[in-house]
Structure 1
């Protein structure tokens, strides 16, 4: 039985064929690629002799005497290394050696031309000759930068097409399918319509068989309303359908119909959407998710949706007959879109509850509709504490700022024994709220606030407010002291007396125990470094904004031993957290955030209420109001009468450049 060559052998053959075609097209004749002839002065007799020898070698090569031609050219190069015709000799000997299939040596001469004569008009031809030699000998990665350089410099469409085909094959051999498809798309635009079919077939085959979700979304976004966005979207619809990811399927289907309303597959995609809508409406109960899944806030919306999906997967696995559907609406980080999607969600699907929205101002937007339609809305992220003042169907499972700083202050004044504190906060609503909450808690616990200062959110120099804090402290408890004499200098001879009028060196000894820094991690890291410079070493306290690797982005040593509180810690040893993190990583190949954890808990509370018979908005509202000591990720959850969730907060400390759980406030 005949054996067919392997894919790698066939690919190598194609590369050789393309390289040979390129060499034949680009190295025939002496005219440089895209070059214009320059007038030259009359040559000397020595230069005329060199030129005559090169012409003789060229004639011998054309007559089939390649060895003789190579011998002449090598002698010319050795005898007249300073001749202006040496680049021509390099190029010709490279061509002759390539014809003899001596690609390694040919490549060496092309490379010498490129390196020794960077301004030569023959550079483009030498570069293409070197590319051909490298591709033929399988040195694909070495050829890649030269191909990219040549593609960027040539203006000849025929040459560019060959270069693009070479690039496509190199990317394919390297399994870089994204760049392979992008290169093929670029080549497709250079050929007449009747010649596009083979290129399109290669693109379609690669998109369908080689690309995952992320890369398919990349092509759907990069080539809107044109090929191959349609192929990428159709493949996404297929993948999402197989995986049962209804929201993603619906989004891809809507994108497809918006971009390609006259496509031959439009009717089939529309039928998929209709079927999905009927399926959701046939569910006994529905939960909505009103989140920004595109636009500036999409990373946070995606985290929340992921947490919701983990809760659904967990309950569905335990109760397969669960007849609760998830209707996801993308607000696109836009208030007008939120209003439109809210109307469609409430009127078309009549959900029992909705997880979302994310922002405090959005919660205020949906409050009236929640009461009017008697639909429970739970925000897992908004910082509004007493949401029941806005509407009796509103609840909040987000971090409660006052509770968070209460637990932090309790630990600081209790086990740590700290009594005096300063505050440096951003000059915004969040900073003002956290400053007030922390100060009130410290005063309640018998502590003392020495100084409070602020900075603009876009500031990077925190020297002025730190100096003001230092000055305020010096008026209360801070001191300026002469530094102690180091032990190894105790036996040294006495130092001569200081000159009259000389200032004695003193160091600042802070009179406060710690400074509270409610801000985002990067700012805290900057501030910590400057505090160490201005105010020596004091304790650092912060909020959940510090719970990110960005805390170490500026100066990891400056934040060492800093302490902050959060509602969730991904590296907690708690079994419930470990299980949640494991399931999350399994589904999404990344660790969960606090937003994902808070959305997970919100969804579990809703599903638990429905499973216990709270199947209307009114009944579910009462069920949530009565939540007491329900199981949460790091401890029991209780719904406060004001509509926010009372929970335990875990204290996290920086130890040896890592975040570690200090304790939770049990």
Structure 2
């Protein structure tokens, strides 16, 4: 009987130690792990590098202040390569790792949306900093975006063109989910304002010869050319437009807001008009420290999309702090209730999880991005 009693005491003791270990896992000894998924290789790698830099800076800033909930933050960085199938594969890996609490990323709409059903099924929070597709945030209660959706951005760009006296526009667009969405919303809203869309011409990812599309656009006799592209394609299209000798106002979404757009395009991108929600040459109070610390660390200016990723990480961690625990439902509720002054401006969310944003007009002038008028 005495042996049985001793055995039971040992079992109770071991159980108590195990229970303490479980309790410690939500205490100061374990890190809070957050996944970051971005295109670190492939055609969109410069955007991925920007994501990695700004989110790493945000993580460091939190940890320098003691972390959150008494725990250090740790980034788990994954490469989607800008490929939807790889983004879905990464999502499977992330949700299979029980130590990861939430996900920031991806950069593009196709990658973010390919991964979304996987995060949704796992009830994992997914904040896609720059996914502007209208169907994204409303596709899952666990999904949020920072950049603002295509309705907001499309109205801004369409109104800007119309206010500048543009009445006929030709549009070239990347033929993927994002490019089609940009084309549809800018074009439809421009027509609602009373303008005419004289051409909508798609091009494929990886295409390098735009001469035929540009000739068609020129022959349509528009007042302006709108190009829904990333910085590399946008620069190439502008170079080939200049080679045709076609002088016309050019508008692009903020996806061309990158130093590489200026480097690749050179004089051919002079005068290009675009929009951003963050401009490091004229930062608001919340952004000034971010710009200074980023320059000190990386010896370059942060770009708009990196700034969105920085805000996405901070919105998530602030929500964890307010929730007071790592409970996905509670943290999700806190994100939905966000009223945060970020480096890209004030961030609140509508009922779908779309950020409500304002934008800044930018022009390429003397080889630099400059505030427009």
Q: Taking structure 1 as the reference length, what is the TM-score of the superposition?
A: 0.46
Larger C-alpha radius of gyration, 1 or 2? 1
Which range is displaced more, 389-398 or 525-534?
525-534
Q: What residue number does 1:621 align with? A: 332
Q: Provide the C-alpha distance between the structure 1 equivalents of 2:314 and 2:137, rounded to a whole number of angstroms.
A: 20
Tell me the alpha carbon deviations over residues 301-344 of structure 1, each in whole angstroms, 9 at most, x when there is no partner: 45324323333344455567752432333434345454234311
Structure 2: gaps of 5 or more residues: 1-22, 81-85
Q: How far does residue 436 in structure 1 lie from its aligned partner after superposition? A: 1.1
CA RMSD between the two structures: 3.3
- Is the alpha carbon distance of 1:516 and 1:371 closer, same or farther for their aligned partners in structure 2, counting shifts above 3 Å? closer
Q: What residue number does 1:327 align with? A: 74
Corresponding position: 1:308 with 2:55 = yes
- Is the alpha carbon distance of 1:634 and 1:435 closer, same or farther for their aligned partners in structure 2, counting shifts above 3 Å? same
- Is the alpha carbon distance of 1:471 and 1:417 closer, same or farther for their aligned partners in structure 2, counting shifts above 3 Å? closer
Q: What residue number does 1:410 align with? A: 159
User: Which structure dedicates a bigger proportion of its chain to strand?
Assistant: 2
- 1:362-401 aligned at under 5 Å gives the runs 363-364=112-113, 367=116, 370-371=119-120, 374-398=123-147, 400-401=149-150
Q: What residue number does 1:579 align with? A: 289
- Is the alpha carbon distance of 1:281 and 1:293 closer, same or farther for their aligned partners in structure 2, counting shifts above 3 Å? farther
Corresponding position: 1:286 with 2:32 = yes
Q: Provide the C-alpha distance between the structure 1 equivalents of 2:25 and 2:281, rounded to a whole number of angstroms.
A: 36
CA contact (8 A) 2:38 2:52 kept: no
Q: How far does residue 442 in structure 1 lie from its aligned partner after superposition? A: 0.7
CA contact (8 A) 2:287 2:343 kept: yes
- Is the alpha carbon distance of 1:656 and 1:290 closer, same or farther for their aligned partners in structure 2, counting shifts above 3 Å? closer
Q: Provide the C-alpha distance between the structure 2 equivalents of 1:365 and 1:518, rounded to a whole number of angstroms.
A: 21
Q: Provide the C-alpha distance between the structure 1 equivalents of 2:109 and 2:232, rounded to a whole number of angstroms.
A: 24
Q: How far does residue 632 in structure 1 lie from its aligned partner after superposition? A: 2.1
Q: What residue number does 2:93 align with? A: 340
Q: Provide the C-alpha distance between the structure 2 equivalents of 1:429 and 1:574, rounded to a whole number of angstroms.
A: 32
Q: How far does residue 601 in structure 1 lie from its aligned partner after superposition? A: 0.7
- Is the alpha carbon distance of 1:635 and 1:363 closer, same or farther for their aligned partners in structure 2, counting shifts above 3 Å? closer
- Secondary structure (helix, strand or coil) at the match of 2:92 reads helix
Q: Provide the C-alpha distance between the structure 2 equivalents of 1:558 and 1:325, rounded to a whole number of angstroms.
A: 47
Corresponding position: 1:647 with 2:354 = no
Q: Provide the C-alpha distance between the structure 2 equivalents of 1:293 and 1:461, rounded to a whole number of angstroms.
A: 24
- Secondary structure (helix, strand or coil) at the match of 1:643 reads coil
Structure 1: gaps of 5 or more residues: 1-277, 474-511
- Is the alpha carbon distance of 1:584 and 1:555 closer, same or farther for their aligned partners in structure 2, counting shifts above 3 Å? closer
CA contact (8 A) 1:280 1:326 kept: no
Corresponding position: 1:612 with 2:322 = yes
Q: What residue number does 1:564 align with? A: 274
Q: How far does residue 598 in structure 1 lie from its aligned partner after superposition? A: 1.3
Q: What residue number does 1:71 align with? A: none
Q: How far does residue 535 in structure 1 lie from its aligned partner after superposition? A: 6.6
Corresponding position: 1:658 with 2:336 = no
Q: What residue number does 2:7 align with? A: none
- Secondary structure (helix, strand or coil) at the match of 1:387 reads helix
Tell me the alpha carbon deviations over residues 497-527 of structure 1, each in whole angstroms, 9 at most, x when there is no partner: xxxxxxxxxxxxxxx3211012233433343
Relative contact order: is structure 1 or structure 2 higher (C-alpha 8 Å, sep ≥ 6)? 2
- Secondary structure (helix, strand or coil) at the match of 1:465 reads helix
Tell me the alpha carbon deviations over residues 610-632 of structure 1, each in whole angstroms, 9 at most, x when there is no partner: 3323532112212222234x212
- Is the alpha carbon distance of 1:336 and 1:438 closer, same or farther for their aligned partners in structure 2, counting shifts above 3 Å? closer
CA contact (8 A) 1:570 1:581 kept: yes
- Secondary structure (helix, strand or coil) at the match of 1:564 reads strand
Tell me the alpha carbon deviations over residues 365-402 of structure 1, each in whole angstroms, 9 at most, x when there is no partner: 65456455543221224444333443211212245333
Q: What residue number does 1:468 align with? A: 216
- 1:104-123 aligned at under 5 Å gives the runs none
- 1:144-293 aligned at under 5 Å gives the runs 282-283=27-28, 286-291=32-37
- Is the alpha carbon distance of 1:290 and 1:465 closer, same or farther for their aligned partners in structure 2, counting shifts above 3 Å? closer
Q: Provide the C-alpha distance between the structure 2 equivalents of 1:647 and 1:367, rounded to a whole number of angstroms.
A: 22
CA contact (8 A) 2:92 2:118 kept: no
- Secondary structure (helix, strand or coil) at the match of 2:372 reads strand
- Is the alpha carbon distance of 1:401 and 1:293 closer, same or farther for their aligned partners in structure 2, counting shifts above 3 Å? closer
Tell me the alpha carbon deviations over residues 456-514 of structure 1, each in whole angstroms, 9 at most, x when there is no partner: 444444333333234333xxxxxxxxxxxxxxxxxxxxxxxxxxxxxxxxxxxxxx321
- Secondary structure (helix, strand or coil) at the match of 2:141 reads coil
Task: Select 1:547's aligned residue among 257, 281, 290.
Answer: 257
